[in-house]
Amino acid sequence: MYIPSKPDKYGLKIYWVCESDTGYPLKSLPYLGKVGRLPEKDHGENCVIKLIEPYYRSGRNVTFDNFFTTLKLIQHLLRQGLTCVGTVRKDKKFIPKALRHHSFSKDKQYTSRFAFQEKATMVSYKSKKNKVVTLLSTMHSDKAVSEDEKKPDIVAFYNSTKGRVDGMDQKVHK
């Protein structure tokens, strides 16, 4: 696969599930390219479902980045007995207007805005002057923000579990 933004522009694309404490790889799925003439619909969702199926009904939490995060996916995983936390791309239509990036222009740094729907919590957090990150969680259900860091618990949890697949990619590269 060719990815111009990467240091190694050509290589194999492999999706991983890694254990969150050690980064130990549990399962992988190679990207095999487009099947047929039409692009695959919901590719990110399908990858997560294939990788996570062995862990259904285990009560675990799954953390993923904005390539994979959709409302449809988190609802599916919740029905399968899994919670999840993921970043959300700023152009997703399911983000409420009050949480969209442009609505933060006049807010101070460390501002958090929350939205709740059934068993899902969304937070948009302004960490820097022009930097807003939005996350979606079925593991968190309140507006908890740490006093010392002024960071929502959802963001702190995501940051503590997100880097394991990146670490795996670095090891494979070496």
Query: What are the pLDDT tens digits along the chain (174 aa)?
Result: 888 988 888 888 889 999 988 889 999 999 887 777 777 788 899 999 999 999 999 999 999 999 999 999 999 999 999 999 999 998 899 998 888 876 777 788 889 999 998 899 999 999 888 888 999 999 999 999 988 888 999 999 999 988 888 888 788 778
Structure tokens at 9: 């522009």
Is residue 9 assigned to a domain? no
Is residue 2 assigned to a domain? no
Is residue 35 assigned to a domain? yes
Structure tokens at 81: 């007995």
Is residue 61 assigned to a domain? yes
Domain boundaries, position 87: 14-173
- The answer to whether residues 151 and 6 touch, using CB atoms and an 8 Å cutoff, is no
Is residue 27 assigned to a domain? yes
**Structural domain tally of the chain?**
1
- CA-based torsion, 40, 64, 141, 138: positive or negative: positive
Query: Looking at this protein, which amino acid is placed at residue 144?
Result: A
Is residue 8 assigned to a domain? no
Is residue 5 assigned to a domain? no
pTM over 0.85: yes
Please give the Cα distance from 137 to 115 (Å, whole number).
Answer: 11
Q: Are strands 61-64 and 83-87 parallel, antiparallel or unpaired?
A: parallel
